[in-house]
Structures are given as structure tokens and as C-alpha cells.
A and B are shown apart, each in its own frame.
Chain A
Amino acid sequence: MTGQMTRWIRGLFGLILLVAPARAEPPAPESDAPAQNIVIGYLRRAENRTAISRLALPAENDGQAGAESGLDDNNVAGEFLGQTFSLVAHRLKPGEDAGAALADLEGRGARFVLADLSAENLLKAADSAAGAKTLLFNIGAADEVLREEFCRANVIHVAPSRAMLADGLTQYLLWKQWRKFLVVVGSHDADRLWAEALKRSATRFGGKIVEERMFADAGGARRADSGVALVQKQIPAFTQNAPAYDVMLAADESAVFGEYLPYRTWDARPVAGSAGLVPTSWDPSYEQAGATQLQQRFERKFSRRMSALDMNGWTAARMIGEAAAHDAAGDIGAARAYFLSKDFALAAFKGQKLTLRDWNLQLRQPILLSDGRNVVSVSPQEGFMHQFSELDTLGLDRPETKCRLK
């Protein structure tokens, strides 16, 4: 709390320095109303995410930095509205109960909590005693079940689901007239779920899975020197004798083999999914729709690039800021009602407003397709029509949902 305050004050000081030498006049106080402080919780998983490329290894404050950046933006608006926003954070210890962790944040005043948790822990937190008093923002779990069979009325999904990511990717591949896919799936549960989403998407939009192969995680060293030589021999052998295909789809959420596929496939084919062309909610190279502004603000403050998890954190924090600006952050019921109302339209540098699906509390959003250097395209693609919102061509739609919100 104190650390937050000093950081915030330091930020403010930096802001004043920026406009030196002539100092900007501070904003006029808007009213005599007592300041409203909104405490936002940040609950994060114990385990570190992993990656094959060292360039993709997440920063220590991955996600939380994005949330802090969103809080900064909220606090600027708050100066005009008599509101302040502060962040309290809790990182799960291995084996710690997610409900107890949420209770800690709730005890420190947080009614809105950003959660970067596994699906299992997110449900534990949501169904705990503290969960009944909080509104959770899922920024880190793409699992469909959280939006479907196990959807919860106190969990808003800011992160896109696997089906949304898969649909965003597949729409583009079909626009390119690449219709035949060879799926390579890892041996972990998350990999299988990602493969399911990719296959469902291909079927949904008229693509064809010509074959599916499994890449078993043999526990090899990811970045050992000898590994590279081995991989060069291993991947071509693994991918040979495939039926004719246009694109290899890698389903490797566990980061075991996916990024080893490009340039090593037996046939000269592009890779997409977990490597090559990757669907995501943010990319540090993205600069459309005014995004450069946010990228620069973030990079100045944190001296690193903004990740997709950071963007999910920023977006969730800004949602709470918008609720506060519209007098809807007093209690979680009012906030939830505001997010579901026609008045809610979030500007998040995606070229169109983001709104909430009322049937499962998933944030509607475009999906960026990144090649690691640039954003190749943004889905939904032209020609994928929907009677309500083209964004609803991404992910499971209202008629398909298994979610029954209580």
C-alpha cells in the first residue's frame, strides 16, 4: 500500500517533470465531495510461465505491470472525479488455497480482483466465502469451461478464450485460402484443449484437419546447447510423410516444441497456433488504433515491452475505472450491472468498442495475429458475418453456450 502510494507519487512527480520547465497547472478540484478510494486486488499464480525462446520468457511483473498501468490511467481521470485507485497484490504460494488468498485481498479492501490463476484455482477463489464479496476479472485463463459449464456470475473474463483465439486465427488462414491443416499437439492437458479449439474452429469455418500428430514431452532440456542440434534432426523426421497440407497448427501451450517447428518442418509449410502466426490479445509491435500511445506509456514506466497478459491487466483495470467514472464502483452489483448495460463501451486500442457477452461475462474483443515481429492481421476477418456483432464470430456464441449464470 505504502509502496503503491510512493510509486504513484513518483509517477506524478515524473509527470510534472515531463512538462518542465514551465509547470502545468494542476487540475481544478471538481467538487467538495470526499475522495473515493477504489482498491483493486491482484491475485497471481504461484508458478512461472515458461517459454522456448528466451525472448518470450515473461517478466517478473508480467500482468501486474499492465494492471498498474491501467491504474495510472484511472488515477489521472480520478483527479477530475475525486477518485483514487490503489492496488493490493497477492501471489499464491505453492499449494496455498486460492480462496484464502482472495480473502487476504478482500480483507485489505479489494472488491474488484484481477486474477491470473489456473482454471482450478480461479474456480476455488470464485466459490470461496471471499468470492461472494468480490467481482473477479479473469486475465490469465483461456479455458472454455470457465465460460461454459463452470461459468460464474462473479467472474468476468477479460482474457480471450481458446475458442476465440482459434477462431481469430482460422478466419485469417481461410481468408488466405489455406484450408488443409496438419495439427501437432503436445502431451499436456492444456495442449489438448488448445488442439480441440483449433480443430473445432477449422470444422466450424470449413477448413480440414488432414492429420493429427502428438509430440510427447520427453522432458528434454529446452534450451541446452545439444538440444538445438537434436531438434534440427528431430523435427523434420517427426513431420515427414504427412498428407498434403497448407499450414501446420501447433498446439503447444506448455511451450515444449511449438517454437521448434518453424523452418524445421519436412515440407516447406508455415506454422501457426503456438508458434509462427500466433493469435493473441496484444503484441508489443501493435500500433493501430492509437495503440502506440499505450505502448509508449508502458515502456517508459516499466522499461520493457507490454505483453498480452499486461494488456489483459490494463483492460480489467480500465473496466473498473470506467465503472467508477459512471458511479458504478460503489458495490460489485452496480459494477456488474454497468458492465452489462448499453452504457458500457470500453476503448482499448482495438479499433472498436469492447463490450461484455451477457450470457457468460466474456469480453468481446478483436484478436490480433502476431508473427513475433509484427501484427499480420486483426480478426474478425471481413466476410465472417453475424446478426448481432461480428466479434461474436469469435468463440462460442449465445446459441451454443452451456453457461447458465445464477
Chain B
Amino acid sequence: MPFEMSRAAFVVALLAASPAFATDAFVSNEKGNTISVIDVESMMLKTTIPVGQRPRGLAVSSDGKTVYVALGDADQIAAIDTKSLSVSDTFDAGRDPERIETSPDGKTLYVTNEDSNTLTFFNLETKERLGGARLGVEPEGLAVSPDGKTVVATTETTNMAHFVDAERRKILANVLVDARPRMAAFTPDGKEVWVSAEIGGSISIIDAQTRKIVERIRFEVPGLRAENVQPVGINISHDGTLAFVSLGPANRMAVVDVKSRKVLKYLLVGQRVWHAAFTPDDKFLLTANGISNDVSVIDVGALKVVKSIQVGESPWELVIPGPAKP
């Protein structure tokens, strides 16, 4: 952990030294087949990169120089050079890659293949497929522990969070969660895994050590039916204090105090909010809103939505190169 923190601090320092590279947010537009690039300093759309069929999952290389894009209908991963803002490489990724994450050492790319029940491991240097772990039906959510030893993948129809040994590519445990789990996220201290259940309407908090559910968070948005409150994206601040949970068709982000596990506030964002990303300094959170085709900017300190930025068609995920996402 101390190593992780110092590495993160180092990256922040590095980013501060080269602001042009530090301040772009990359948004995958699922139906637009493009990546929208937002300048995070000015919060303005900078450019749009055509990228291939059905871009969804995004991940950043450990050096911040590359953003990887999962192209679901092309069965490929595209690599975008964050400096030239163009596609520098593509490689085969198995059938229907949905979400992707990189290992903390930057060597491995993890891919959930929604259509073949597999978590696939790629060597990022050689683009070679290392192997796979067979999971439940429709793998989607993906999280890597801060120490890089464990990968957690969720399966939408089997309703499980699968804990996978990152080195041996073997399943360590399967935890049954609520219906249609979409996303998993480790707390920055690596002690908890949060798993969202879109149809179950909950977040299951799993103890990363015992791999048992320790608590379930449910959301009650005043004036909204329970069935319209569908947790999908989870973003935990780098300092580990706040979790932002996107509630899909409720058009809101729930702000959760990580320690007390209490919902502090609901923030109205654009329509059908999927995933989100913090700026490296945790000052802002940007959300991808799938139906209103925009990105909402949340001032994290004030817990207020301060801006919305029009992007491509059906924005799905966001990454902002910087310290590794928890």
C-alpha cells in the first residue's frame, strides 16, 4: 500500500508537470462509435475520435500514455495515443469485449467477454492472449485490487462477483449478489469490494478478505419508484471517503459516505447515467449520460452539478488519465 500511494503521488506530480496530457477526459460513445475528448481544464469538448463498432469499456495504461477501448461489436481493443489523440493500435480481444482494466504494473489487460462467459487476460506488451477464466453468464463489471493480486468480475445473469487470482487466472471465490450486477470497485485501501446490482437496486459491500457480504446499501430517491433506481457505475474517490453511485434511469448520482455507508445526497445529472470518472485531484467527477448524450460535471467539494457537456451518441464510460482508478 505505501508503495501504491507513493506511485499515485508520483503520477500526480508528473501530471502536474504536463497539464496538456493531464487534463483530457475520454468518453466512449456506444452508438456513435467514437471517443469524445474533453479538456478538463476548460471543461470543453476538444475533439472526437472515430474508433470502431460499439465502444464501451475504457482503461488507461499505467504510464497514462494510452487509453484502451473495448469495441464490443468489432471484437477488438483499440489503443488511443493520449498525446496525438488518434488510434495507434488495435488487437483482437475475443468475442464481445465489454469492460477492461489494466493491472497496476501495466503489464496485463483484463477483459470481460460478455458473450462467451470469460475473463480474458492479455499481455499488453505483446498483445498476446495469456488465457482466461471461465465465469458465469454475461460477465461485465471488473475491478482490480490495489495490490494487483485479485481481479473481481461480475456476471449479469449469474448474479455473482467472481474473485479471480490475477496470476494463476483461477477463481478464488464466487459471491452471490443481487440481480444483474454491473460494476465492481475496490476501496483504495483494498479492504472492500463494492458491487452494484442494477435490477436488485442495491450495492453489496464485500469484505475482500473473507469474501462475504458485510452490508447492502439500498437507495430511496424521493419521488421516484424503486424500480427506476438502478445502480450501475461506482466511483470511489482516491482518498477513499466518498463513493458516487450512478442510478441509471433515475438520472441521479447517489453520494455515499464510504465509512458510514450512508447516502448523503442525490445529485440530478443527465439521463440514463452509466459510468463516471474523477479528475486526478478528486475535485470533479464527470458522468456519462447515455440518453441525453452529455457529460455532467460534479463539483465534488460542493456536491453540485456545475456543467453539462454535449458529447457523442450514447456515452457509456469515462476515463481521465491520472492515478489508477480504485
Contacts and interface: CB of A to CB of B under 8 A. Distances in A.
Interface of A: 15, 18-19, 22-28, 30, 73, 76-77, 80-81, 290, 293, 296-297, 318, 322, 325-326, 345-347, 351-353, 389-391
B171 A27 contact: yes
Nearest to A72: B137
Interface in B159-216: 159-160, 162, 169-172, 174, 176, 178-180, 198-201
Contact of B95 (A18, A22, A26, A290): A18
A253 to B, nearest CB: 30
Nearest to A30: B174
Interface residues of B, number: 43
A15 B137 CA distance: 11
B280 interface: no
A346 B179 contact: yes
Contact of A345 (B138, B174, B179): B179
Contacts of A80: 136, 158, 160, 162, 171, 174
A15 B136 CA distance: 12
Given A25-B133, A25-B134, A80-B174, 12 more contacts: A15-B134, A22-B129, A27-B174, A77-B136, A77-B158, A80-B171, A345-B200, A346-B179, A347-B157, A347-B180, A352-B199, A353-B199
Given A15-B116, A15-B117, A25-B169, A390 B134 contact: no
B227 interface: yes
Interface string B129-162: 1111111111000000000000000001111101
A28 B198 CA distance: 27
B230 to A, nearest CB: 8
B179 A353 contact: yes
A293 B115 contact: yes
Contacts of B62: none
B118 interface: yes
A23 B133 CA distance: 9
A18 B176 CA distance: 26
A318 B136 CA distance: 14
A390 B134 CA distance: 38
B259 interface: no
B114 interface: yes
Contact of B134 (A26, A297, A318): A26
B196 to A, nearest CB: 13
B323 interface: no
Given A76-B117, A352-B227, A353-B227, A25 B170 contact: yes
Contacts of B198: 347
A123 B186 CA distance: 52
Given A19-B116, A25-B132, A389 B174 contact: no
Nearest to B169: A25
Contacts of B228: 352
B94 interface: yes
12 contacts: A18-B95, A19-B113, A19-B116, A19-B118, A80-B158, A80-B160, A81-B174, A297-B115, A347-B159, A352-B199, A353-B201, A389-B227
Contacts of A15: 116-117, 134
A388 B285 CA distance: 34
A351 B180 CA distance: 10
A22 to B, nearest CB: 5
The 3 closest A-B pairs by CB, nearest first: A24-B132, A347-B180, A347-B199
Given A345-B178, A345-B200, A24 B136 contact: no
Nearest to A28: B171
Interface in B40-59: none
A321 B249 CA distance: 27
A30 B117 CA distance: 18
Nearest to A27: B171
A290 to B, nearest CB: 7
B157 A25 contact: no
Contacts of B225: 389-390
Contacts of A326: 176
Contacts of A325: 159, 176
